[in-house]
Amino acid sequence: MSASEESKFSFFSRKKNVQVDESKLKIPTHLAVIMDGNGRWAKKRMLPRSAGHRAGADNLKNLCKNCGHYGIKYVTVYAFSTENWSRPESEVHALMELFVEYFDRYDPELEQEGIRVRFTGDIAGLPENIQEVCRRAEEGSKHRTRMTLIVAFNYGGRREIVQAAQKLAEKVKSGEISSDEITEEMFSSNLYLPDVPDPDLIIRPSGEERTSNFLVWEGAYSELWFSDVLWPDFGMEELTEALVAYTARDRRFGGLTEQK
């Protein structure tokens, strides 16, 4: 194997001074990321919080490229939660403007990378101009097949579950189904994106170790990995370390492996 070929299958971690053979990594089909730490990143640099959010948005582009390197098919990112409306109005307004700017600026790069864009969350509860951006981004990228980037915007896991329950309740009320016909599979089919597989791995940078109402139903059996690195600084090295940890996990989904 030539040096160029070997580099394709290895990654050198400066932090741990170890070499990782990429060909032996177990790659998740669906990776979810809680993009946390933008405000603290900005504060450390004596910058306004808006600068941290902008740096975090820029890093999403890097995450997509890094995940594409590993062949990950679905990437869901937690961009704006239902709870984020409680932040100062100026910050919420800046986040909405950044959302619009991001897709205007980076769509050509997403196109080049073959990345389809979808959204999950209470999209109908967003301002009309933001809904239009969502529609335009989804429609314009539906032909792309290399990777699907799912942006959780105005998203709350509990709200998603409540809205799924409301849909089923309406079907029961109309006589379309009876309550005893409701199964986990039927419930899942009424979530925001029922055709997307559950996340295999959920990553949260920034030192916090909770999932914060993210993919509550879908993440029931997801592996979790936490990092102290703030989101704008989360790069290829951290992603690779997460995949190394994921590779070592024994996912039993409540059952037993042959060794156990």
| Catalytic site positions | 36, 84
Q: Is 202 in contact with 35 (CB distance < 8 Å)?
A: no
Strand residue runs (E) in the chain = 10-13, 18-21, 30-34, 74-81, 115-120, 147-155, 201-204, 223-226
Q: Is 216 in contact with 194 (CB distance < 8 Å)?
A: no
Give the angle 206-207-211 at the CA atoms, nearest 5°.
Answer: 85
Q: Is 158 in contact with 216 (CB distance < 8 Å)?
A: yes
Spell out the residues 6+ positions from residue 198 whose beta carbon is closer than 8 angstroms to its own. 30, 215, 218, 219, 220, 221, 222
Three-class secondary structure of residue 80 per DSSP: strand
Distance CA 104, CA 123 (A): 19
